[in-house]
């Protein structure tokens, strides 16, 4: 296959024909990114730098993943505009500030300390992510490496480590931004012409580059239990949820809600509602995964199904994965090759078409996705409204 251009455009009409839900996903995150950027601009420099830091964090995370063979284990579908030779869609670039800005600003209502704030953001981020991850892989918005040990254990085809990734990396960005901004800039609402801009720029660079390593450091806990003692990733995911949740809950219970501040933003509330409504409507009425034809970059196909490659983990261990996708023996239930004329892609191909597969149980997907969306709506409703209003009502009664 010839090398793809650095920036690749695709006709939206083609996406709508072959992957209509993917086009809707792309447009939704572009809209969310625009709304959050406008919200940040209204709030002031600190929030603009937060938005840009999330963007920089996403750039660092994605690019390191593409070019480090030990974590190069996923391939995005081809959207309207894709960068880095077919690897980095524009909407995924914008996914990071759209979601991380939203969760950070929402949690600010609670006025928690740095560690508790970051823990609450970690929980909020994974709550945003669950329906996206479950429906995204079922609708082939990306594909995973078939045998990579870091992502081998799945939940509705979603690696448990994907949830770990969202929590630890969201925690790291939130904590590092808060600490770095407070140290370098402080409470300035308006940046001084030169020194303030330099300090804010330094904060942006530090958070963009260092939040991923800090997240990887937290993931060492998972790798130690999984790689050394073969603990199932489901257990480590639950541990992360319980630890972050306990820190968040304990701090929130001890906080006087009179210190909480009202975050007035119809845009942020709209993002939450649109996000969850989109996935509920998608799974119930619209999505037909069996009709999807996703042409793009995927795991390299090969005839040598015994060839293995080394995977170096953060604990220093060396694990193994298959070098190629073996089309006669793979375990990715969300795609097959039934729509191809020959019933299989060419050997050594990395650019080919995969075909979506029907739900094994549509009702089951409806239950898990709708339930996760309802939990998400209740979580953000509680943050946006009840946390502040209850204290006001208590004050009136007293």
Please name every residue paired with 126 in a beta bridge, in sequence order, or none if there are none: none
What the block records as the tokens of 168 is: 């630890």
Percent of the chain with pLDDT over 70: 93
Say how far apart CA 129 and CA 123 lie, in whole Å: 10
CA dihedral for 135, 139, 140, 145, sign (positive or negative): positive
What does the pLDDT read at residue 284?
A: 85
Rg for the chain, CA atoms, rounded: 22
Lowest mean pLDDT among 56-65, 121-130, 261-270, 385-394: 385-394
Per-residue model confidence as pLDDT tens digits over 94-143: 999 999 999 999 999 888 999 999 999 999 999 999 999 999 999 999 99
Per-residue pLDDT band at 171 (split at 50, 70, 90): very high
Give the residue-averaged pLDDT of 284-294: 93
Listed residue (361, 255, 367, 348) closest to 302, CA to CA: 348
Which own/partner pairs from 89-92 qualify as long-range (CB within 8 Å, at least 24 positions apart)?
Answer: 89/26, 90/26, 90/30, 91/25, 91/26, 91/27, 91/29, 91/30, 92/29, 92/58, 92/62
CA dihedral for 110, 116, 121, 127, sign (positive or negative): negative
Name the burial class of residue 228, with classes exposed (0-12), middle (13-18) and buried (19+) by CB atoms within 10 angstroms of its CB: exposed
Give the residue-averaged pLDDT of 148-173: 97
Per-residue pLDDT band at 257 (split at 50, 70, 90): low
Per-residue model confidence as pLDDT tens digits over 184-199: 998 766 777 778 889 9
Lowest mean pLDDT among 75-79, 339-343, 393-397: 393-397
How many other CB atoms sit within 10 Å of the CB of residue 48? 19
Asked whether 111 and 133 are in contact (CB, 8 A), the reply is no
Give DSSP secondary structure letters for 150-188.
GG-SEETTEEHHHHHHHHHHHHHHHHHHHHHHHHHTTT-
Question: Using N-to-C axis directions, what is the helix angle for 160-184 and 195-223, rounded to 10°?
Answer: 150
Give 340 or 190, the one with higher predicted confidence.
340
pLDDT surpasses 90 at 6: yes
Domain boundaries, the chain: 7-397
Percent of the chain with pLDDT over 90: 84
How many other CB atoms sit within 10 Å of the CB of residue 156? 16
Mean pLDDT, the chain, whole residue set: 92
What does the pLDDT read at residue 4?
A: 84
Maximum CA pair distance of the chain?
76
What does the pLDDT read at residue 387?
A: 58
Per-residue model confidence as pLDDT tens digits over 18-76: 999 999 999 999 999 999 999 999 999 999 999 999 999 999 999 999 999 999 999 99
Asked whether 72 and 144 are in contact (CB, 8 A), the reply is no
Q: Please, what's the b/e burial string for 129-143 (b: 16 or more CB within 10 A of its CB; e: otherwise)?
A: bbbbbbbbbbbbbbb
Residues belonging to the chain? 398
Asked whether 355 and 335 are in contact (CB, 8 A), the reply is yes
What does the pLDDT read at residue 344?
A: 94
- Please give the DSSP secondary-structure letter assigned to residue 325: B
Asked whether 45 and 195 are in contact (CB, 8 A), the reply is no
How many other CB atoms sit within 10 Å of the CB of residue 82? 26
Give the residue-averaged pLDDT of 363-372: 96
Listed residue (234, 240, 107, 100) closest to 167, CA to CA: 240
pLDDT surpasses 90 at 258: no
């Amino acid at each position: 296959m010839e090398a793809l251009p650095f920036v690749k455009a695709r006709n939206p009409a083609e996406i709508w024909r072959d992957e209509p839900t993917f086009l809707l996903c792309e447009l939704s995150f572009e809209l969310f990114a625009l709304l959050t950027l406008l919200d940040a601009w209204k709030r002031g420099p600190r929030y603009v730098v937060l938005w840009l830091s999330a963007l920089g964090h996403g750039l660092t995370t994605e690019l390191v993943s593409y070019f480090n063979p030990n974590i190069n284990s996923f391939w995005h579908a081809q959207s309207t505009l894709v960068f880095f030779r077919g690897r980095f869609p524009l909407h995924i670039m914008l996914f990071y500030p759209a979601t991380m800005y939203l969760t950070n600003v929402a949690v600010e209502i609670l006025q928690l300390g740095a560690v508790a704030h970051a823990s609450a953001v970690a929980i909020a981020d994974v709550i945003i992510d669950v329906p996206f991850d479950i429906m995204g892989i079922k609708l082939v918005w990306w594909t995973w490496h078939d045998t990579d040990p870091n992502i081998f254990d799945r939940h509705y085809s979603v690696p448990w480590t994907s949830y770990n990734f969202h929590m630890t990396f969201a925690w790291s960005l939130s904590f590092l931004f808060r600490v770095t901004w407070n140290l370098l800039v402080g409470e300035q609402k308006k940046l001084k012409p030169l020194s303030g801009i330099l300090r804010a720029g330094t904060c942006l660079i530090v958070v963009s580059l260092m939040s991923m390593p800090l997240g990887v450091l937290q993931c060492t806990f998972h790798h130690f239990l999984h790689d050394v003692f073969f603990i199932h990733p489901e257990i480590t995911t639950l541990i992360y949820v319980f630890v972050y949740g306990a820190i968040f809950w304990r701090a929130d219970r001890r906080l006087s809600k009179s210190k909480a501040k009202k975050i007035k933003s119809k845009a942020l509330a709209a993002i939450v509602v649109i996000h969850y409504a989109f996935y509920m409507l998608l799974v119930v009425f619209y999505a037909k995964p069996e009709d999807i034809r996703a042409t793009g970059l995927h795991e390299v196909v090969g005839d040598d199904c015994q060839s293995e490659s080394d995977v170096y983990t953060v604990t220093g261990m060396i694990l193994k994965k298959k070098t190629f996708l073996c089309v006669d023996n793979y375990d990715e239930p969300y795609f097959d090759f039934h729509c191809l004329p020959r019933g299989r892609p060419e050997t050594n191909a990395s650019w080919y078409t995969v075909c979506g597969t029907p739900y094994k149980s549509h009702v089951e997907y409806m239950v898990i996705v709708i339930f996760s969306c309802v939990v998400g709506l209740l979580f953000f409703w509680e943050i946006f409204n009840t946390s502040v209003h209850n204290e006001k009502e208590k004050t009136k009664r007293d």
